[in-house]
């Protein structure tokens, strides 16, 4: 057996269901939530793009007039809810995203479990995902990205359940959360059609010999009892309804309230505003810099709350790079061996990144890589789990140890911890481009 065959064979071996690691999924999730909530109200001042979204959330509470109209409303509605429940202060601003980030982590683990039925893959993914830095940092700031990403994670959890159990209910719930994800932010738009395309692909091949019934047949996979036309309802129409429902508060603005007739023109206006942001920013970057973890972004660095503090939105220096060869191995497994799950992870990674690669918007930031990083960690976990299940456990164990060690080392600069002095950033900026 060649070296390449030895590396690849575990990735394409038939997968057998292992015991559901639900308890461990809860444990990882709760540990993550505790770390996210620790010092959540620090810094006690606005940092980075909170300057845009906090005033917009206050306008939603007062229903006075639109603000920050270039983005959908759901993320700002969550922030407003946090203000109403926990107060208009730093903890209240950030609490919704802390809970959304926790939910997204759990949902992503459950999605991979139902897609793979692999206990090692699920647990490796959960740990690597929780310690990949970027998801943690975005769970601690009042921005919109976590609303989008967490709702997408829940949508894929429901999609995996729907395909695994043949469930119409979970298919419908997938559609709801796809729409809510779009209502958080448009970044995940290229991924929204993929569950529907997968359903159509499976149905096409399941109907070999009688494809005239492609649209209406119900007695075939992937979900018996659900025709392709019905799937279009759940995965096409329902997401649109859920998305437009997130605009409901805008119909009650005191100034320029939204109307049914104005709903579509508002989308066009939002798109125009998105393309109008051209002023250069000190920390702007491009997609290929995100892939290689070259250009992160500082959300905060200042003496505040009695100490020098900082928040650096960076990817885990080891796992974010280790995931790249894992993607190539998953691509090989998908193309040459027909491994659908590994191939799908690669497609999802590319789909979540291509939006930024072809987008002409000049001002982009590292945190736009958050969604792609989920699939990157999934690819790494699947590769390591393939080896783990074949008895070669040291790569997985080593990856977990290194990921954990780096998370501990960087934790102060990820969570606005007290730093020794003004120049403490030098301890964390291993590359000049990280400064």
- In SS3 terms, 331-342 reads as HHHHHHHCCHHH
Helix, strand or coil for residue 419?
Answer: strand
| pLDDT per residue as tens, the chain (435 positions) | 443 334 334 443 444 557 999 999 999 999 999 999 999 999 999 999 899 999 999 999 999 988 888 899 999 999 999 999 999 999 999 999 999 999 999 999 999 999 999 999 999 999 999 999 999 999 999 999 999 999 999 999 999 999 999 999 999 999 999 999 999 999 888 899 999 999 999 888 888 777 788 888 888 878 998 999 999 999 999 999 999 999 999 999 999 899 999 999 999 998 888 777 667 777 888 889 999 999 999 999 999 999 999 999 999 999 999 999 999 999 999 998 889 999 999 999 999 998 888 876 677 889 999 999 999 999 999 999 999 999 999 999 999 999 999 999 999 999 999 999 999 999 999 998 898
Give the separation between CA 372 and CA 83, rounded to whole angstroms: 30
What contacts 356, CB < 8 A, 6 or more positions away?
Answer: 286, 287, 290, 364, 368
- Checking phi first, is residue 281 left (phi over 0); if not, alpha (psi -120 to 50) or beta? beta
Q: What is the domain partition of the chain in residue ranges?
A: 3-192+246-434
How far is 234 from 162, CA to CA, in rounded Å? 11
Angstrom distance (rounded) from CA 254 to CA 267: 20
For 352-356, the CB contacts below 8 A with 24+ separation are: 352/187, 352/188, 352/190, 352/191, 353/287, 353/290, 353/291, 354/190, 355/187, 355/189, 355/190, 356/286, 356/287, 356/290
Q: What is the C-alpha separation between 181 and 186, in angstroms, rounded?
A: 8
Cβ within 8 Å of residue 264, ≥6 positions away: none
Two structure tokens written together for 370: 């958050």
Q: At residue 132, what are phi and psi to the nearest 5 degrees?
A: -85, 5
Name 384's bridge partners: none
User: What is the DSSP secondary-structure string of 205-262?
Assistant: HHTTT-GGGTTT--SSSSSTT--HHHHHIIIIIHHHHHHHHTTGGGGG-SSS---STT
Q: What is the pLDDT of residue 8?
A: 36
Q: Which residues are CB-neighbours of 274 under 8 A, at least 6 positions away?
A: 70, 186, 361
Q: For residue 45, how far is the Cα from the chain centroid?
A: 26
Which element (helix H / strand E) includes 313? strand 307-313
**Residue 307 main-chain phi, psi, to 5 deg:** -165, 165
Q: Where are the alpha helices (DSSP H) in 63-118?
A: 74-86, 90-116
Q: How many Å apart are CA 340 and CA 11, to the nearest integer? A: 11
Q: Which two tokens stand for residue 392?
A: 């070669």
Q: What is the pLDDT of residue 207?
A: 84
Q: How far is CA 179 from the centre of its chain?
A: 14
pLDDT, position 196:
92
265-282 residues labelled b (16+ CB within 10 A) or e (exposed): ebeeeeeeeeeeeeeeee
């Amino acid at each position: 057996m060649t070296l390449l065959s030895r590396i690849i064979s575990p990735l394409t071996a038939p997968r057998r269901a292992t015991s559901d690691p639900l308890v461990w999924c809860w444990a990882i999730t709760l540990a993550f939530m505790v770390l996210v909530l620790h010092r959540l109200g620090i810094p006690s001042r606005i940092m980075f793009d909170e300057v845009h979204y906090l005033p917009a959330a206050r306008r939603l509470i007062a229903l006075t007039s639109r603000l920050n109209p270039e983005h959908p409303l759901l993320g700002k509605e969550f922030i407003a809810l946090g203000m109403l429940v926990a107060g208009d202060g730093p903890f209240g601003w950030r609490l919704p995203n802390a809970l959304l980030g926790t939910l997204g982590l759990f949902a992503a683990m459950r999605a991979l479990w139902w897609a793979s039925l692999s206990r090692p893959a699920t647990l490796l993914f959960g740990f690597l995902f929780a310690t990949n830095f970027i998801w943690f940092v975005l769970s601690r700031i009042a921005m919109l990205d976590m609303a989008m990403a967490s709702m997408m994670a829940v949508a894929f959890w429901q999609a995996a359940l729907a395909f695994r159990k043949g469930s119409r209910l979970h298919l419908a719930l997938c559609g709801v959360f796809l729409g809510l994800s779009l209502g958080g932010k448009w970044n995940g738009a290229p991924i929204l059609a993929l569950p529907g395309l997968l359903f159509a692909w499976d149905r096409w091949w399941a109907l070999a010999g009688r494809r005239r019934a492609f649209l209406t047949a119900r007695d075939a996979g992937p979900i018996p009892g659900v025709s392709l036309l019905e799937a279009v309802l759940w995965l096409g129409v329902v997401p649109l309804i859920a998305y437009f429902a997130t605009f409901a508060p805008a119909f009650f603005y005191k100034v320029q309230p939204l109307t049914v007739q104005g709903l579509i023109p508002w989308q066009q206006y939002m798109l125009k505003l998105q393309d109008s942001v051209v002023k250069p920013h000190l920390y702007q970057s491009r997609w290929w810099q995100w892939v290689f973890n070259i250009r992160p972004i500082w959300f905060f660095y200042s003496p505040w709350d009695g100490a020098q503090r900082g928040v650096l939105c960076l990817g885990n220096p080891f796992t974010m790079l280790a995931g790249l060869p894992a993607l190539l191995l998953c691509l090989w497994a998908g193309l040459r061996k027909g491994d659908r799950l590994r191939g799908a992870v690669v497609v999802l990674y590319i789909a979540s990144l291509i939006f930024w690669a072809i987008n002409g918007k000049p001002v982009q930031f590292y945190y736009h890589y958050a969604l792609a990083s989920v699939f990157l960690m999934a690819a790494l976990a699947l590769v390591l789990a393939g080896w783990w299940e074949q008895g070669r456990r040291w790569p997985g164990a080593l990856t977990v140890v290194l990921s954990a060690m780096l998370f501990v080392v960087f934790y102060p600069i990820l969570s606005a911890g007290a730093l020794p002095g003004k120049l403490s950033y030098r301890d964390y900026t291993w590359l000049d481009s990280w400064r």
